Structure 1
């Protein structure tokens, strides 16, 4: 089901001849999980969306409040077939004509709902192997931290992973440090320290990353650090795991010749599910 500027329909068509999201990637988006009719991390998603729009100089309508998006998402899932959970994608795009310079900064929004099978986050015991993606890098700058519809580095990394039989790829920044995975933030565990790249290294300002940093800093069992991670650090780690607001936590079991344990990832999962 779709919600386009407040109009809900099971099918949706959008003219693309002047659509800036299609022509220039002039759009930002949020993917949100709804579980048992509860919108998870709505406040964090809302403020990241607003920040992304400001960074891209989009006009933010006065009615774009958190309560407005809560209502629009709720209205949409109420029209869907009942499911344990839903994946919600909000896309906001500049609607004006123009070429590289838009004629106006006014926006439209599109919300799409898809059913999910699992209402809570969980970890499977299946092997999960990753590799470095070296063909292209992301810039260590503010634009890399937002969820724009320009994801060409991530897409080409995904194709590389598919062609070579990997479950995911680790993406580097222009400084040759680890930034993130294709669709996730990365955490490294060494002894009792959990490390994740800082936003200044160009990683996505992930919602689940942000939430885990909050709850882990309250837990005395681990030391939490945001610092640069080199590719060499990956092979010295005890554990590696990925985080994503839809999937939750995904432990990495193999990187090159190194295999990893998953005990800390399971502990973090327990803390995550208890927090929501």
Structure 2
């Protein structure tokens, strides 16, 4: 089922000929995990969406409260399954609903919410090979728009095709200063000894909701030191461990980058702590 502006439909029937999200990438979205009828990290997703809409100068309706956001997410999941013991991936997309070219004639917004069932309820450790490579064809510019989840994701699309063509599970993305900022669909963490480093949002990486959760878990663990600093490509081969984070996968260990193979001890520990946090919430 699709939730289009509050109405449940089998398909949205949105006209792409006039939709600004399709024509100009004039849209933002949140990818959310729903577990056993509970929207995980609801507050973080809601406030990031509101912040993104303000940055893009979208008109936020008065009824767009957190309660409304949660209700509309759950509408996209069929009624008979919403309270079952299962997990869903939900995408909540907000677009500027107006005619016009680059300049919209109006500032009103529309939204569409879609969902699909996930195989795993809790976050699981992937024991398989997960090899990454740098994607150097295009770079991310260091500015505020790069930190938002907009529908303009051509670097990620082309990078994903590059990864598949060359037998990699993922690629790491560089900014215009040639620092590593993230993976194609995840934030990046680099472990060296007891220090865990992640690129700052000011370097152009997405301001990830799961990134925030993992930073909090690390900050509450006295065994590790969290550092938010730029990461150079040279640091990758000196690291003990690399891991990636997003709200659907949770924490993904990188097993290999070029000739360097990594341990996964920190990844597995953080994954256990993340699942424990979810159970307690």
Using structure 1 for the length normalisation, give the TM-score: 0.98
- Show CA shifts across 1:58-88 (max 9, x none): 0000001100011112233243655610001
Q: How big is the shift at 1:12?
A: 2.2
Tell me which of 111, 114, 136 is aligned to 1:134. 136
- Show CA shifts across 1:110-135 (max 9, x none): 01011111110011210100000001
Q: Who is 2:70 aligned against?
A: 70
Residues 73, 92 of structure 2: 8 Å contact kept: no
Residues 83, 115 of structure 1: 8 Å contact kept: no
- For structure 1, the residue ranges without an aligned partner over 5 or more in a row are none
Q: Who is 1:243 aligned against?
A: 245
Q: Who is 2:17 aligned against?
A: 17
Number of residue pairs aligned between Structure 1 and Structure 2: 276
Tell me which of 165, 168, 172 is aligned to 1:166. 168
CA distance in 2: counterparts of 1:250 and 1:120, whole angstroms: 13
Tell me which of 142, 150, 157 is aligned to 2:152. 150
Q: Who is 1:3 aligned against?
A: 3
Partner of 1:170: helix, strand, or coil?
A: strand
- 2:38 aligned with 1:43: no
Using structure 2 for the length normalisation, give the TM-score: 0.96
After TM superposition, the structure 1 = structure 2 runs for residues 115-264 of structure 1, keeping only pairs within 5 Å, are 115-264=117-266
CA distance in 2: counterparts of 1:76 and 1:96, whole angstroms: 24
Residues 85, 118 of structure 1: 8 Å contact kept: yes
Residues 83, 116 of structure 1: 8 Å contact kept: no
Q: Who is 2:54 aligned against?
A: 54
Q: Who is 2:30 aligned against?
A: 30
Partner of 1:72: helix, strand, or coil?
A: helix
Q: How big is the shift at 1:45?
A: 0.3
Partner of 1:120: helix, strand, or coil?
A: coil
After TM superposition, the structure 1 = structure 2 runs for residues 87-102 of structure 1, keeping only pairs within 5 Å, are 87-102=89-104
Residues 32, 87 of structure 1: 8 Å contact kept: yes
Q: How big is the shift at 1:140?
A: 1.1
CA distance in 1: counterparts of 2:126 and 2:4, whole angstroms: 36
